Amino acid sequence: MPLPQHDRALSIDLYELTMAAAYLELGRTEEAAFEMFVRELPPRRSYLVCAGLEQVVSYLLNLRFSGEQVDYLRGLPVFEAIGDDFFDYLRDFRFTGTLAAMPEGTVAFADEPLLRVSGPIIEAQIVETFLLSMVNYQILVATKASRVVQSARLDGVRRSVVDFGTRRAHGPDAAVLAARAAFIGGAVGTSNVEAGFKLGLPISGTEAHSFIMAFDSEEEAFRGYYDCFGRRAILLIDTYDVLEGARRAARLAPRMRGVRIDSGDMAELSRQVRRILDEAGCEDAMIFLSGNLDEYAIRNLVRNGAVADGFGVGTKMVTSQDAASLGGVYKLVAVRRQGAWEPRAKLSREKATYPGIKQVHRHFEPRSGRMVRDVIATAEEDCPAEAEPLLEPVIVEGALCMDLPTLEKIQDRAERQLERLPQQHRRLDDPEPFPVEVSDALQEQHDAITARRG
């Protein structure tokens, strides 16, 4: 499994473990169900692209506490009054619960359960931190990447987007996850070689300005690079003068793969460079644009007539710079008593939750197949014939119950989902909120708990 999640038991907030110890000490070992959802979409966002599930699955299936880790926890002052039973429990820990989730690549919206974990309450509680960390970040980047790709294809031309963000990601591990998430969102590849090695992602790269500057002349640098890489060479032409660089590239590397422009008025420069290349007989040479790009910059380039075959997008995509965090939360929704699930809900102002185990029913327009609305329902409700349920079982009683899709299939799912989301719900500026409703049965369940607690 790509990016296996071994030895991650301490990737956790301390309070997960203090609660686990208290549950065990107090004899609270009943089953519980938790759901992850996003309360509110980030500014300018109108949808989410689900990502990160494969790493969640690997984590749950491989979750173990080593003897060294248990000894470390045993020595923490907070656990000085906790008996040996808890630490023996950790030494034997295995995830035996159930995971249901929206498949990666699914388009989702605020308040909808993205995944659900059920099982012994300690098991379901202890995994919260890792799940939120992994899923929040990958959804954030996958969604941002989908917006970038949407802009690159604004006029119907399928221009490519490549992840260039490794050096600006929040560490090397985040860079690999970002490359994965960006691919789900529609990027065709990444500059990150580790992501290529571990995930099989297509990798792409050119050269840096330092390579050009290391030679006595741009001509010498171009000739040397082309001699090494031939038809694979993409020459960086903006170190000194873009147009002169384009002329030199066309003359010295007539069968090159293309050129990259990283600065300047790229819309105007790209048009002029295209003419230079075409007049020199380099009609097949691509033009690749990079440099501080995001969906808005790319939209402006396309609208202003930039001639580009692809874009390299880095910092603003892998950090989702305009919306740098996702407020995904993981909340208890039910406990199992005497064989029956009892709904639970948080009622605090502005952070209230809907109780009980839920499902999301997605409705479509029969003729066009376009998404019409989502309905958050209780898990017991039948899904209408014209709708489809979004959460699927992934792990049952600690065992994987499905074949996980390839990244290519996940990317294809995301693209097809976005095509079925009407344009007014995915435009970059002032998108209309997609209709998400609550079923009558779920609302009644919520009202009943509110009345009891009130």
Token output for 311 = 């874009």
CATH topology of domain 14-141+323-354+391-435: nicotinate phosphoribosyltransferase (3.20.140)
Average pLDDT, the chain: 96
Start-to-end Cα distance in the chain: 48
Residues ≥6 apart with Cβ < 8 Å to 66: 7, 9
Residue 1: the pLDDT is 52
Strand partners, 38: 328
Task: Give the pair of three-digit tokens for residue 81.
Answer: 């009054």
The predicted pLDDT at position 91 comes to 98
Tell if the pTM clears 0.85, that is, is over it: yes
CB 182 within 8 Å of CB 194: no
The pLDDT assigned to 454 comes to: 60
Determine the Cα–Cα distance for residues 434 and 108; give it in Å rounded to an integer.
10
CATH topology of domain 206-290: TIM Barrel (3.20.20)
CATH 3.20.20.70 in the chain: give the residue spans: 206-290
Report yes or no: 237 and 260 within 8 Å, Cβ to Cβ: yes
State whether residue 400 is helix, strand or coil: strand
Cα(433)–Cα(435) distance, rounded to whole angstroms? 6
Quote the CA–CA distance of 15 and 124 in Å, as a whole number. Answer: 14
Q: What backbone torsions phi and psi does residue 55 show, to the nearest 5 degrees?
A: -70, -30
pLDDT, mean of residues 18-26: 97
The pLDDT score that the predictor gives to residue 156 is 94
How many other CB atoms are there within 10 angstroms of residue 416's CB atom?
A: 12
The residue type of 81 is A
**Token pair 């006029």 in the structure block, residue:** 155
The predicted structure's pLDDT at residue 191: 98
Residue 313 parent element (H or E): strand 310-313
What is the rounded CA–CA span in Å between residue 104 and residue 117?
16
What single letter denotes the amino acid at residue 451?
A
Give Rg (Cα) of the chain: 26
CATH code 3.20.140.10 region(s) in the chain:
14-141+323-354+391-435
Average pLDDT over residues 435-445: 97
Render pLDDT for 125-147 as a digit per residue (tens, 0 to 9).
999 999 999 999 999 999 999 99
